[in-house]
Structure 1
Amino acid sequence: MIEKVKSLMINYGVNENLAPFLSNIITLTAVMVISLTAASVVRKILFRVLESYAEKSKANWHTVFTERRIFDRLVRIIPIGIIHAFAPLFPPYTEWIQRIAYSSMIFFLLLAVDGLLDGVNDIYSKFEISKIRPIKGYLQVVNILSYTVGIIVVISVFIDRSPWILLSGIGAATAVVMLIFQNSILGLVASIQLTSNNMLQIGDWIEMPKYGADGNVLEITLHTVKIQNSDKTITYIPTHAFMQESFKNWRGMMESGGRRIKRAIHIDVTSIKLCDEALLSRLENIPHIHKYIKDKRKEITEYHTDYNGDHSYITEGSHLTNIGIFRIYIENYLKNHPKVSKDMTQVVRQLSPGENGLPVEIYAFTNEIAWSDYERIQSDIFEHLLAVVPEFDLRIYQKPSGYDVSHAV
């Protein structure tokens, strides 16, 4: 073709020394026009059909393909393929034109595969199962393998050797390859174990103090797990670290529908005493313990009648204590609290007294698991209990402050 153009130009009076150069320019321009025209036609016709089909898909592939520019990358292969086909028109440069064109086609094909894998992950992430079984790590492995194969093929094209020779050389250098891809291999194994054992899901709230992580899992990839902490900061933790370090997953709490309260009120032991008649008469008017005191007073009366005990002595017979009645009050208060779960464990117990007084611990579960709601309910409960402690002639233990010292008599 170039010779025909050259001859035609000489016939029209073009200088014989300038004719070869101009014929190459004209031929190259013609090839470029043909390739770009073909790409435009394919883009408008073939890809319009593909996009129309994708629009009808429930998975909304059209949007994904557009956002990930998969069609655009595939279209670019067409003009490069035409250039590769017309390379024999330029005999001195045929081999290198074909090598560069072939490598370029592989490059854009790899980009298209990369976009396709991202698109598959975008579609999959819209399903609920993606939170339990994320596949991004596996797709990244496929992406790495595709790029590895592509690079090997490109290198083999440029050095004019079979790709199998390079693959055999890589096989001999397995130790070096494993060293290079050590993190990827560890990440892949960890991803498989995390998902197969259901240890970690997208949306889980986890704590990992070593890495300063305390928040929700946003993404699980081959190399990292992305976590948004409660203060909106982002922490990236190596995926394989979850198989080597301990972490706390709050998913069980979220699924149970209840969040635990475990906190103690410290009572001054010097305020604990046996209840006299005046105190019992006053406490008996409190609804939560009215029935309890009435029943206990009857029980004590029967005890002293049966054993003819002299209950004027504190060491004789059975007596009620203000701390015991306070404990029963807390139990009944929690049972009647609308925000405390009735289906989960409720325990009010005394711990061993120490330098900070006698701890009365509350162990219960709220029926709200959202952090703000949980803290509000817990605060309401303890604000009420701290306020009613004096009604039982008890005192909250508190170490002396500067105010106490300054007002001491």
Structure 2
Amino acid sequence: MQQIQSFIYDYALNAGFSENAAKLLNTFALMLGLLIIIVISDYITRKFLLNIFSKFASRSKTNFDDLLVDHKAPRNIAHIVPLLITLQLFPFVFYHYPELEENIIILIRVYGVLLTVWIIRSILKTFESYFKTLPRLKDKPIDSYIQVAMLFIWVIGAASIFAVVINLSFIEFFTTLGAASAVLLLIFKDTILGFVASIQVAINDSVRIGDWITMDKYGADGDVIEINLSTVQVQNFDKTITHIPTYALISDSFKNWRGMESSGGRRIKRAILLKAKSVQYLTEAHISELKNIQLITAYLESRQQDINTYNTNNNIDKSTLINGRNLTNLGVFRKYIQSYIENHSAINKDMTIMVRQLAPTPQGIPLEIYAFSSDKRWANYEYIMSDIFDHALAAVPYFKLELFEIPTTFTTEILNTD
């Protein structure tokens, strides 16, 4: 071993080189030999591990081992062998320069810490990808947990490198670091808040990836595409991306539409405004005319019979319509819209269906349609709702009702004043 170690040195001295030159030449040759050994050992180890993992992955039922290969975990683990060889052989290479030994040890240790961090990172990334393939975890904020783990790993790694460089023991360094914990808490305040928020979001199941949320404060109205440690990414319906701080999900209010999407329908709640002065009692002639509308024929015949019986039994003078019981055009119209909604093919019949009259306003009498469409997709929902109101608006004149509109002359006056 000694002969191999000093072979180039002895040869250089015999060739007439100075002692210092012979030492440099010998060290360079030994270093070149070490590099060749490192490259060969790294190549062999990497090929060996990759072959083993590939064969195991092809036979395994789970895709976890495939993900390990995809995230280069075997490749990173293979670097451990050259590192161990270097630790064993570097005193042999630099025996002419023992004063460099301490500095080289520091460099090798720093590399060892970085390699360890990188191996752990590969494994954590593998777990992240694997958990996302599990149906029960697919909509959970896995990214947040992995980022927290990586944050701690990098903090520990950086602290370890610093401890190695200043030649301080790991325990002594972290004991000293404890005194600066208040400063660290201040520096990592947003990270800690985001971590706590992501845990609460996961435990309370308030937001999942894929949920449609609305948060006016941040201009968000779309689907959650990512939940990580610091932000929640929402792809709005105009394809823009909104970034919301994760902790805002527990400190601010937002609307999650998951309940609607998991229910049997999507709510339709909209009113049309009718002129109050167009509301009137129905005459016999108008009732006869409205009986031609098939959806309310049976209703009109039944109601008219009940009303006539009541008025006759109570000797009501019907020469004036206001006396006794009467049908109104608004009431019959309301019944017609109710029947139309109940017979509409796109409305969920198992959920609430209601047509109601709201309190009169300066703009008229609101007649509100309250129902749920069976199809919850946004475009289809809008089409269904438009179809219903197209019909309702077109039906208004048949009942001698009028829609409220701002008079054209009034609008013109406003524009002229502006």
TM-score by length of 1: 0.94
In structure 2, the residue matched to 1:87 is 90
1:45 partner SS: helix
* Pair 403,66 (structure 1): closer, same or farther in 2 beyond 3 Å: farther
User: Per-residue deviation at 1:353?
Assistant: 1.4
2:129 partner SS: helix
| Number of residue equivalences | 406
In structure 2, the residue matched to 1:24 is 27
Letter in 1 for 2:339: N
1:121–1:135 CA contact under 8 A, matched in 2: yes
- Structure 2 unmatched runs, 5+: 414-418
Letter in 1 for 2:228: T
2:144–2:195 CA contact under 8 A, matched in 1: yes
In structure 2, the residue matched to 1:351 is 358
- Structure 1 unmatched runs, 5+: none
In structure 1, the residue matched to 2:416 is none
In structure 1, the residue matched to 2:244 is 237
| Corresponding residue to 1:173 among 177, 180, 184 | 180
2:282–2:327 CA contact under 8 A, matched in 1: yes
2:49–2:74 CA contact under 8 A, matched in 1: no
User: Per-residue deviation at 1:180?
Assistant: 1.4
User: Per-residue deviation at 1:136?
Assistant: 2.2
CA distance in 1 between counterparts of 2:158 and 2:412 reads: 79
Moved runs in structure 1, 4+ residues, more than 6 A? 403-406
2:54–2:66 CA contact under 8 A, matched in 1: no
TM-score by length of 2: 0.92
| Corresponding residue to 1:49 among 43, 52, 59 | 52
CA deviation string 1:131-167 (max 9, x = no partner): 4533322222211111111112211111111011110
Pairing 1:338–2:341 present: no
1:86 partner SS: helix
Deviation larger for 62-71 or 386-395: 62-71
Identity of aligned residues (%): 38
2:247 partner SS: helix
CA distance in 2 between counterparts of 1:38 and 1:205 reads: 53
In structure 1, the residue matched to 2:123 is 116
Deviation larger for 9-18 or 159-168: 9-18
User: Per-residue deviation at 1:12?
Assistant: 5.4
Letter in 2 for 1:5: I
2:50–2:69 CA contact under 8 A, matched in 1: no
CA distance in 2 between counterparts of 1:104 and 1:88 reads: 17
* Pair 402,118 (structure 1): closer, same or farther in 2 beyond 3 Å: farther
1:204–1:251 CA contact under 8 A, matched in 2: yes
CA distance in 2 between counterparts of 1:56 and 1:291 reads: 71
CA distance in 2 between counterparts of 1:185 and 1:253 reads: 32
Letter in 1 for 2:215: M
The 5-angstrom pairing of residues 215-364 of structure 1 reads 215-364=222-371
User: Per-residue deviation at 1:55?
Assistant: 3.3
User: Per-residue deviation at 1:68?
Assistant: 2.4
CA distance in 2 between counterparts of 1:314 and 1:56 reads: 88
2:139–2:210 CA contact under 8 A, matched in 1: no
CA distance in 1 between counterparts of 2:58 and 2:167 reads: 43
1:137–1:188 CA contact under 8 A, matched in 2: yes
Deviation larger for 47-56 or 153-162: 47-56
